[in-house]
Amino acid sequence: MSFQPTKRVRIYDVAQAAGVSVATASKALNDTGRMTEETRARVKEAASSLGFRPNAMARGLIQRRSFTVGLLTNDTYGRFTLPLMAGVSEELVDQGISVFLCTIEDDPALAKIHVDAMLDKQVDGIIASGKRIDRQLPVDLANLNIPVVYAFTKAPADAVSLVSDDAEGSREAVEWLKSLGRQRMVHVTGPRSFASVEERAGAYRASVGENAPVFFGAWSEQWGHEAVAQIWDATGEKPDAIFCGNDQIARGVVDALRERGVSVPTDVSVIGFDNWEIVAAATRPPLTTIDMNLKELGREAGRLVLALAAGETVEPGIRKLPCQLVVRQSCGGAPRS
């Protein structure tokens, strides 16, 4: 059986069906030109019934747009960028805009190659994303002649930047533990050199007390095991709640407690941070955690880069998007409705 390609519906077909000229049909579909609303509606109805899809390249030549947005990241593992990209794509797909992803590792030369490629493709804007909020990408995007929005990476002071509200997420975790009647909390988190670590730990101490214990270490399950060993091998009363700086640490904490015969959540409630599904759902018991809402952050980044590309005024500065507590079995208490 041979493949018979489907005949492409052209704007000439739409014009003929609507009883107007090709020029009028083009203006009607692009919402330009002067005509009656009845004529514009008739053209759009004809286009819809015929299944007409405007050619993106032709639209780009008319509107001087490529209908693509570049997403530049050094997060080669994709932990933060993949959910963010999903949000960007969801926001832009209905606008007929595609996302062009480039991973640059931490290589300035590779970054320049990819930025040049994006500029050659005449992308309508760039979303710069990373793997931590306090480090800039190894490339200067400040003087490009297209809009740039930064998401989950350090940005210039005069840029539009989006991050998750780490402090708000930390407070939400602590308040949930308090609502369960937990009174002896500790915080086991990542390296002090990360801005997110300091922000989460600061909010935790502001809610629990300035002398509340915080254990700093690596972003790993192994550190979760080691932290439990430090806490349980020390003298004094043991905690009834452990709030962790990420889900990997939390999983290590849960496993280490189980090995010591400590029941989670009966004896100790455990909460993580990230809502990394592959880790949180596989923990036993499944992990209560703070979701950074990276997909929503991506949607907002897509909306803002589109607004800038359209010439709208967007105030520069850092926008903090709210986090969300996801209740599973590791902390006890009924899931939120």
Spatial CB neighbours of 187, under 8 Å, sequence gap ≥ 6: 200, 201, 204, 205, 212, 213, 214, 215, 242, 243, 244, 245
Q: Nearest Cα to 248, choosing from 258, 238, 260, 256?
A: 256
pTM above 0.85, yes or no: no
Please give the chain's pLDDT, 337 residues, in tens: 333 444 667 778 888 999 998 778 877 887 777 889 999 999 999 988 988 876 554 454 345 667 789 999 999 888 899 999 999 988 887 777 889 899 998 899 999 999 999 998 889 899 999 999 999 999 999 889 899 999 999 999 999 999 999 999 999 999 999 999 999 999 999 999 999 999 999 999 999 999 999 999 999 999 999 999 999 999 999 999 999 999 999 999 999 999 999 999 999 999 999 999 999 999 999 999 999 999 999 999 999 998 898 888 999 999 999 999 999 999 986 655 4
Burial 72-96 (b: 16+ CB within 10 A, else e): bbbbeeeebbebbbebbbebbeeee
pLDDT at residue number 98 = 85
* Amino acid residing at 69: V
Burial 3-39 (b: 16+ CB within 10 A, else e): eeeeeeeebebbbebbebeeebbbbbbeeeeeeeeeb
Q: How far apart are CA 41 and CA 28, in angstroms?
A: 8
Domains, the chain: 68-164+294-321 (3.40.50.2300), 166-292 (3.40.50.2300)
Contacts made by residues 7-16, CB under 8 angstroms, sequence distance 24+: 9/50, 9/51, 9/52, 9/53, 10/52, 11/52, 11/54, 13/50, 13/52, 14/43, 14/46, 14/47, 14/50, 14/52, 15/43
The partner residues of 186 in beta bridges, in order of sequence, read 242
* Amino acid residing at 271: I
Q: How far apart are CA 157 and CA 316, in angstroms?
A: 8
> Distance between terminal CA atoms of the chain?
54
